[in-house]
Amino acid sequence: MESHRPYEDWLLGDEALTAAQQEQLRAHLSACPDCRALAAGRTAFEESVRQSRMQAPGAGFTARWVASLSERHAKESLRQVLWIGIGLACSAAAVGALLLTLVGETLISPWAWIVQTLNALANLMVWGRVAWEFTAAVINGLPSILPGSWELAAIAAGLGLTAVWLISLYRLAVQSATKGEIQ
């Protein structure tokens, strides 16, 4: 019995055959009725697909499809909310585990936490006092360094910078509007 394997692959495949393969296939088809029937069936199938028209959807298909959009959207939204909720729950569990690890010792001995908190508050108060005194010293020392009308000069400089800022914003808005970026 002769093997039909390469001939069936050539008949049903989409790759281009060489001249030698085409000659072998022609010789085999003239001798093999099974492969001839297979070739005729493929040709008939391809012809029927080419000649057939797409079937129109059934009556009311569009209305049913549009009606199902809201249901599909609701299911998709529910799925997204579910995944976001799972992600948030996992994140909260991870943060909780981390906090429990970091604060675990204070749960055993809250006095260490109280002492650390009071120490941090004391340091914050000291640094706040230092910043306040430094700022007061700079402000009190400025009149001796600057001329008598330094307050007026500072106000004028501030107004000038504000004017430059407002003009820049205006120009940027006008350029954006002329380019059509703001509608």
Each residue of 60-114: pLDDT tens digit? 888 888 888 888 888 999 999 999 999 999 999 999 888 888 777 666 777 777 8
Position 183 confidence tier, pLDDT thresholds 50, 70, 90: very low
- 7 exposure class (CB count in 10 Å sphere: 0-12, 13-18, 19+): buried
Position 160 confidence tier, pLDDT thresholds 50, 70, 90: very high
The arithmetic mean of pLDDT across residues 139-153, rounded, is 71
Give me the chain's average pLDDT, please.
84
**What is the spatial distance between Cα 149 and Cα 143, in angstroms, rounded to a whole number?**
9
Sign of CA dihedral 130, 131, 134, 135: negative
Per-domain residue ranges of the chain? 5-51, 66-108
For residue 181, pLDDT over 60 is answered with no
Per-residue DSSP letter, 13: -
Please report the pLDDT score of residue 64 as a whole number.
Answer: 87
Per-residue DSSP letter, 57: P
Please report the pLDDT score of residue 1 as a whole number.
Answer: 41
**Higher model confidence: residue 24 or residue 159?**
159
SS3 2: coil
For residue 143, pLDDT over 80 is answered with no
Please report the pLDDT score of residue 131 as a whole number.
Answer: 94
